[in-house]
Amino acid sequence: MIDYFKKNVDFLSRITILLIIVAGMSVINPPAFLNWNNLSTVMFQQAPFTILMSFGMTMAIITKGIDKSMASIVVLASMLSGSYFKNGNLAMGFLIALAVGAAAGLLNGTLITRVGVAPFIATYGTDFIALGLAYVVCAGRYIYDFPANFRVITNGCFIPSVPNIALVTMIIFILLWFLTRKTIFGRSMYLAGFNVDATILSGIDAKKVVTVVYTINGLLAALVGVLYMARLNAADPNISGNLCLDSIAASLIGGTSFGGGKGSVSNAVIGALIIVFIRNGMNIMNISTNWQQAVVGFVIIFSVFYEMAIGRLTKKRMG
């Protein structure tokens, strides 16, 4: 038992941060925060999107990269597939959204691994182009008012009182957890982030692994695009807003190290919940939304310091 605590001191401390934030909110304003309406909205309606985005961002950061383009892929995928969903052609819509995501992810992966562009710049470029294309496709006409059989994807309840979006997030979590923790691919991914030269020298095709990671990110982003569209009942190029910043902050505060090779999708869940609850808490305390972006920025700085402190602590233990 104590061994378990010692081994997982980092992960457990992140859960403690989450609990402290939740407890703090409960003390500051119990009637507004601690009611089922607020909690279920946060957990089942807002958090899933941040969690899904953070999965991708976390995997990119584990490979010692970053994926700045995900938010724009969300927008582009939803803009391009919107009209098909609107006409009730769900299969075609999904196909197009996922194809867009895969293509953008593949572009990122190729630029990073084959050409050798720094991940931040490569994905920044994709971000710029994808968002630009989304505005071109949109051309000022928003698609809204989707048929009910499409909106069910997010809002319906396949299992009573659990919205489908939460269910989808759960399934993706299990899939990604298995993929990253129990397969050769997952092992290679961590290794590639930890030491890419050693990975290549030990006969693993690190370039392929990283390319696949960015492609998965693209697919995740496309999925988020479809789900978001169903939730908002509109396809609008302005929705990308906070998704990128939030998912980076969530990954880092969740315990994924920017140095690569460390972190996991369960860390991403904790991190995303921390960010979502911070935003919810600020709304409840009537803090102007203008503050939120700055606060999330401070969370990134804080998590970097936290990472250093925890690293020093565990190193001392080992020594």
Partner 1 sequence: MSKVTGWLKKQNIPGIVYGSVLIFLFFSIIEKKFFTPYNVMLIARNSCILLTVSIGMTMAVLIGQVDLSVGSVMSVSAVMVKNGVPLAAALMAAFGAAALFGLVNGILIAVLKVDYWITTFATMSIGAGLALVISDGSTVPISSKFLDFLGNGKVCGVYFLIVLTIVLTVLILFLLKRSKLGYDVYSIGGSENVARLSGLDVNRTRMMVYLISSLIAALAGILITGMTNSASPIVGSEYSFNALAAVVIGGTSLNGGKGGVAGTVFGTVLLRIIASGLAMLGVPATWQKVIQGLIIVVIIVADVSSEKKKDVNGLRRIYAND
- Residue ranges that bind partner 1, judged by CB under 8 A: 66, 111, 115-118, 120-121, 124-126, 128-129, 132-133, 135-136, 139, 245, 248, 252, 258-259, 288, 290-298, 300-301, 304, 308
Q: Tell me how far, at minimum, the Cβ of 307 lies from partner 1, in Å.
A: 9
Residue with tokens 């990134």: 300
CB atoms within 10 A of CB 291: 10
Q: Tell me how far, at minimum, the Cβ of 300 lies from partner 1, in Å.
A: 4
54 contacts 249 by C-beta, under 8 angstroms: no
Q: Tell me how far, at minimum, the Cβ of 298 lies from partner 1, in Å.
A: 6
Q: Tell me how far, at minimum, the Cβ of 76 lies from partner 1, in Å.
A: 11
Q: Tell me how far, at minimum, the Cβ of 139 lies from partner 1, in Å.
A: 7
Q: Residue 124 or residue 194: which is nearer to partner 1 going by CB?
A: 124
DSSP 8-state code for residue 28: H
C-alpha to C-alpha distances, 130 to 28, 65, 137, 228, 236, nearest whole angstrom: 42, 19, 10, 17, 14
Q: Tell me how far, at minimum, the Cβ of 206 lies from partner 1, in Å.
A: 17
**Pairwise CA distance, residues 234 & 143, whole Å:** 6
Q: Residue 185 or residue 258: which is nearer to partner 1 going by CB?
A: 258
Q: Residue 95 or residue 309: which is nearer to partner 1 going by CB?
A: 309
Q: Tell me how far, at minimum, the Cβ of 309 lies from partner 1, in Å.
A: 12
Q: Residue 154 or residue 217: which is nearer to partner 1 going by CB?
A: 217
Query: 3-state secondary structure string, 135-189?
Result: HHHHCCCCEECCCHHHHHHHHCCCECCECHHHHHHHHHHHHHHHHHHHCHHHHHH
Q: Residue 91 or residue 139: which is nearer to partner 1 going by CB?
A: 139
Q: Residue 167 or residue 300: which is nearer to partner 1 going by CB?
A: 300
Q: What are the residue ranges of helices labelled H in the chain?
A: 2-7, 9-28, 30-33, 36-40, 47-62, 70-86, 90-110, 119-138, 148-155, 164-182, 184-194, 196-201, 206-232, 243-253, 265-284, 289-318
Token pair, residue 124, equals 């920044």
Cα distance between the two ends of the chain: 21
C-alpha to C-alpha distances, 258 to 91, 188, 194, 253, nearest whole angstrom: 38, 17, 11, 11
Q: Residue 63 or residue 292: which is nearer to partner 1 going by CB?
A: 292
Q: Residue 164 or residue 267: which is nearer to partner 1 going by CB?
A: 267
Q: Three-state SS for 235?
A: strand
Q: Tell me how far, at minimum, the Cβ of 135 lies from partner 1, in Å.
A: 4
